[in-house]
Structure 1
């Protein structure tokens, strides 16, 4: 999560209503971007990212930690278990389950066991999973290659939603058929 100093608080109730009203339209737009790969998309991404974080304060939201689970890599498990003074096996047994379909280690519960729901802060922030550290993945070098991730995160992350809104407005003049 990135925190902006001049950002506005996220109203999750309003965000969820907005997503319900526009999710399909936003997903169609992202599919068009994915298929047509508009020229200049990667050049505007850093600017859009900067604008998004001026408007979104993750610490007023934490919806990702409340409603999603990161995938835990082997390195994540090793690092976090050591930080907690646990063996990797004990950490997995206590906090994770193995998703056989996707072949990923995931949290057993939501909200995340490491989220302080009063402050929306992560108790293992300095050693958090790499999936969390990169979330919501707005600054990837080839934006079009990550559209599938944004389609997925659109309904959970106000920052992703805001990025897609801004992308739509910016690309309005560009032909996306």
Structure 2
């Protein structure tokens, strides 16, 4: 497993983000057979290639949403009231009706180690990120469209899925040509 080079990653995203988003839109509208099984296989491959601790881009450029359960759990862990916790670190997004970090990178990220100081009680949004192994992938495509620009694992998953779809389409065309 190689460490993530964020400069190289940002360059790849700039070159391919639109193409990968268009691909995801096609998948969302017309999901291939066995999409969840294919995504599960790719998920396994991706985590053999991507080292989150060498990246932490999600913690540097995104904010999780904090549920009421998250607020209770994390504030108790920090020996604070929920109100103290919210006042110190969070802001309320009126549009989405979510509590989110005031600043980026995340206040709980140790920038030297890329480790979370509240990992054992981190928000549910963080513990599920990047949501690659959800049972019905088609329900998370809108999330993957956003996350490809932040998460090398999501980017790699969508890239691999696109490559497999292209290879499958090519094999299908060749089979039809042979039969004709």
TM-score, normalising length: structure 1: 0.94
- Aligned counterpart in structure 2 of residue 170 of structure 1, from 161, 164, 167: 164
Q: Is the 8 A contact 1:72 1:106 kept in 2?
A: yes
3-state SS, counterpart of residue 133 of structure 2? coil
Partner of 2:87: 93
Question: How far apart, in 2, do the equivalents of 1:159 and 1:107 lie?
Answer: 23
3-state SS, counterpart of residue 11 of structure 2? helix
Residue 169 of structure 1: CA displacement? 1.4
Residue 174 of structure 1: CA displacement? 4.4
Count of residue correspondences: 169
Q: Is the 8 A contact 1:38 1:174 kept in 2?
A: no
Judging by fraction of residues, say which structure has more helix: 2
Matches within 5 A, 1:18-167: 18-167=12-161
Q: Is the 8 A contact 1:96 1:107 kept in 2?
A: yes
Structure 2: stretches of 5+ with no match in the other structure: 171-180
Question: How far apart, in 1, do the equivalents of 2:150 and 2:142 lie?
Answer: 14
Question: How far apart, in 1, do the equivalents of 2:5 and 2:39 lie?
Answer: 25
Return structure 1 stretches of 4+ with deviation > 3 angstroms.
none
Deviation per CA, 1:91-147: give whole Å up to 9, x if none: 000010000000000000000000000000000000000000000000010101100
Question: How far apart, in 1, do the equivalents of 2:155 and 2:129 lie?
Answer: 13
RMSD between superposed Cα atoms in Å = 0.9
Question: How far apart, in 2, do the equivalents of 1:18 and 1:171 lie?
Answer: 20
Deviation per CA, 1:147-166: give whole Å up to 9, x if none: 00000001000000000011
Q: Which protein shows a greater Rg?
A: 2
TM-score, normalising length: structure 2: 0.92
Structure 1: stretches of 5+ with no match in the other structure: 1-6
